[in-house]
Structures are given as C-alpha cells and as structure tokens.
Amino acid sequence: MHEWALAEAIIAAALQIAEKEGLKEVTEVTIKVGELQQIEPDILRFALSQLKPASFKGAKFRITRAKTELKCRACGHMWLFKKQELDESAAEAIHFVPEVAHTYIKCPKCGSPDFEIIKGRGVWLENIKGAR
Amino acid sequence: MSLVDPRTSVINERLKRIGRIIAVSSGKGGVGKSLVATTLALALARKGCKVGLFDLDFTSPSTHIILGDRNAQPKEEKGIVPPVVKGLEYMSLIYYSGDHATPLRGADVSNALIELLSVTRWSQLDFLVIDMPPGIGDAVLDLIRLVKRIEFLIVTTPSQLAFETVKKLVSLLKDLKAPIIGVVENMKMNSAKSIQQQTEKLGIAFLGEIPYDPTVEGAIGDETKLLDTALAKKIREIAMSGYL
C-alpha cells in the first residue's frame, strides 16, 4: 500500500491549498497520475476516502491518468513507457521510486540510459473545488 | 490552479518523531564520509540510542557495503518501512536500483529524494544520520529546503584540496542558515593543526581528528570489526561529546 503514503501527501497538500484559498468545504479534488509510477487508482481512491478530513466529507476524488513520455538525451528519440516491457521486479522498483527507471529502461533506438521523463512521472494535484 | 507536487507537504510529518537529523557531508568525494556516517550511526546505536541511517548518495551508494548486509528488504506498509540492519533502521536507493548503475541528473536526484522522504516511515528515533552525496548539489539544497531540522556534520581530510571545498560548503550552509554541528578531520597522518585552525577561523566547531587507520578497509562489511578500529574509537568520542 505505497498508495497510502501518497494519499496522505495528497490530503496534506489539498488541506494546505483549501486553507490558503479559504475553502470551508472541499467538493472535488482532481489528481493526475503518471503511468510510470503505476499507481492503482482504486487503491489510491480507497486510501483517500479513508484519510479525508471533515472538510472533505462530500468530496469526490477524480483521478486522471497521464501517459509517460520519455526522451533520449543522447539521440533525441521519444517514446512511451510501457509497463509490460519490464519484468515484474523492475516494474515494482519503479513503482516505489520512478527515477530507478534509469536503471532498467534504455532508449529503444540507441540504448542510452540518459533520458528525460518529459511527463507522466508520478502523482500531481491538479485542481481543487469547494465552497467558501 | 497549476499542478502541485503533493509529496513535499508530508515530509516533515514523516520526520517529526526523529530527535536530530544529521547530514554527514563533504565538499568533495573520497574523504571517508560514508564510513564516518555509518560508524557514527553504529556508535550512537551502541550507546543505546535509536538510530536510522539514510543513504542519499544515490549515484554511488556504499553504506550497505560498509554494513555488510544485502538480504534485508523494506516492508510495504502504508508507505515504506525501513528494515533494521545491524541495529539501525536503514534506507537506501539500492533496494530499488540493485547493484546497477543509476545515472541520475539533478531533477531526478531531487525527485528520488523527495519520493523517499515522503513515503519512508521511520519510527521514533533519537538520530537519523544521512550519508550525503559529496559537494553542494541538489541533495544539499533540497534537504535544506524540505527538512526543517536538518543539521550538517562536515568531513574533510588534512588535504588543503579537500578543505578548500569545505569552505565553499560552509559558506553555502551559512547563507542558507543551515546549522553546522562542526568539522571532522579524517585520515589524519601527522600532528599539523592547519585544518583545526582554519575551521575555527570560519567560526565552526572542530569536532576532532580521526587518525588514518589501515585496518578500516578490512573491517568493511563487518560492523563488529569496524567498531573496533581507531576510526570508531574517535567517532565514539565525538558521539559522546557535547556536540551530539
């Protein structure tokens, strides 16, 4: 349940934003999840529902997925991350710390491990709606 | 609203049950920082303290080799629970990267550091000792930005080449108002007082000299042997001093 720790971070960050924006009640929280970290949306949603504070009582958690784009710094090739191309232990390691992708993934064109994660790395808070 | 990284919001909550957070740092590599960090953690633990050791030298981790344990694994339980290795709660990127090369650029170092800080569940500790990467790069800047109670213990050798980089590190830490516990002079082979004098001139505490100890290499991977070296004896004295 690595998702639980990330859910705690999402709630803490959302509470800080709600407080800053003077929201007494939060009605919707939108979270973007990059494919690289392989977060299970159902587990994340369950953890969020268990952790939500009173001011989030009626809040809906919208979770959107983002594809992971990688770009080779050596040859410029761009490609999409595909979990099924990794063995189970490598996929699990990347789930915990996405940066170890540099250990297990190489540019499919030139073989370099020096690539950039352009987008779709991990968990982002995208939007919060609520009532003042 | 622009995208917000939620992970940083939870870092100080994760560290709130830790008494002191000590980043063992150096201006340059090769000064024995990882050995000092690991031996300090072991010495504090043998003194009866609850201690964690966190290897943040992501591209060249070595504390797992010094401790000599490759079998432990973190547990996944509402985050990551560090295993206990030789009496220390221990965390390193090697649990995820294995023995493979992990080429990380600045932004990747920051992201991996933030990830581990935000999901690792340390228990109640007296000390968390952090083995830092050498120099004044992303890990130093991120830790000062993200960890409120961080303190720095700086390791140098008697070489002026090493100490010149310590001056830069001290200057940066002062500018960022990060507390410095003091400077340790490692691999001492004579009685020259130049490093002590220069440290004191910077207004920084000189914590002590660790003699060059040729038996240390043979003690790598065996914590009992390591704690029997002249290096460990001196580090125990530092651990018992009023600075820690």
Contacts with B, A 41-80, CB within 8 Å: none
User: What confidence tens digit (pLDDT) does each residue in A95-107 have?
Assistant: 999 999 999 999 9
Q: A12, B77: Cβ pair inside 8 Å?
A: no
B244: confidence class by pLDDT, cuts 50, 70, 90: confident
What is the pTM (predicted TM-score) of this model? 0.95
The two structure tokens encoding residue B181:
């516990």
> Does A11 have pLDDT greater than 70?
yes
pLDDT at B71: 87
In this predicted complex, what is the ipTM? Answer: 0.94
- pLDDT mean over B132-154: 94
Pairing mode, if any, of strands B51-55 and B125-131? Answer: parallel
Among candidates B8, B9, B97 on the partner chain, residue whose Cβ is nearest the Cβ of A100: B97
pLDDT at A1: 62
Mutate which: B8, B13, B108, vs A, most A CBs within 10 A: B108
- pLDDT mean over B22-44: 97
| Nearest residue in B to A21, CA atom | B1
How far is B136 from chain A, CA to nearest CA, in Å? Answer: 21
Q: If interface means Cβ-Cβ distance under 8 Å, which residues of chain B face chain A?
A: 1, 3-10, 13, 58, 76-80, 93, 95-98, 100-105, 108-109, 111-112, 115-116, 118-119, 121
Q: Find chain B residues with C-beta within 8 A of A100's C-beta.
A: 93, 96-97, 102, 112
> Does B58 have pLDDT greater than 90?
yes
Q: Find chain A residues with C-beta within 8 A of B102's C-beta.
A: 99-100, 102-103
- pLDDT mean over B180-207: 97
Q: Tell me, letter by letter, the H, E, C secondary structure of chain B.
A: CCCECHHHHHHHHHCCCEEEEEEEECCCCCCCHHHHHHHHHHHHHHCCCCEEEEECCCCCCCHHHHHCCCCCCCEECCCEECCEECCEEEEECHHHHCCCCCCCCHHHHHHHHHHHHHHECCCCEEEEEEECCCCCCHHHHHHHHHCCCEEEEEEECCCHHHHHHHHHHHHHHHHCCCCEEEEEEEEECCCCCHHHHHHHHCCCCEEEEEECCCCHHHHCCCHHHHCCCHHHHHHHHHHHCCCC
Q: B108, A99: Cβ pair inside 8 Å?
A: yes
A2: confidence class by pLDDT, cuts 50, 70, 90: confident
Find how far residue B240's CA is from the centre of its chain. 18
> Does B66 have pLDDT greater than 70?
yes
Query: What integer best gives the mean pLDDT of chain A?
Result: 95
- Residue A14 sits at the chain B interface (C-beta within 8 Å): yes
How far is B53 from chain A, CA to nearest CA, in Å? Answer: 18
User: What confidence tens digit (pLDDT) does each residue in B94-131 have?
Assistant: 999 998 999 999 999 999 999 999 999 999 999 999 99
Query: What integer best gives the mean pLDDT of chain B?
Result: 95
With tokens 């001139």, the residue in question is B201
Where along chain B do its domains lie?
6-240
- Residue A104 sits at the chain B interface (C-beta within 8 Å): yes
- pLDDT mean over B60-64: 95
With tokens 């547990």, the residue in question is B75
pLDDT at A59: 94
- pLDDT mean over A31-40: 96
How far is B109 from chain A, CA to nearest CA, in Å? Answer: 8
- pLDDT mean over B55-73: 94
Domains and CATH numbers, chain A: 2-131 (3.30.2320.80)
| Nearest residue in A to B101, CA atom | A103
Q: Are A35 and A67 in contact (CB under 8 A)?
A: yes
- pLDDT mean over B77-89: 97
Among candidates B9, B102, B119 on the partner chain, residue whose Cβ is nearest the Cβ of A103: B102
How far is B74 from chain A, CA to nearest CA, in Å? Answer: 11
Domain B6-240 part of CATH 3.40.50.620:
no
> Does B1 have pLDDT greater than 90?
no
- pLDDT mean over B142-162: 96
Identify the CA nearest to B130 among candidates B236, B37, B47, B237. B37
pLDDT at B198: 98
Helix (H, G, I), strand (E, B) or coil at A51: helix
Indicate the helix (H) or strand (E) that contains A130.
strand A123-131
Q: B112, A100: Cβ pair inside 8 Å?
A: yes
DSSP lists the bridge partners of residue A62 as A30
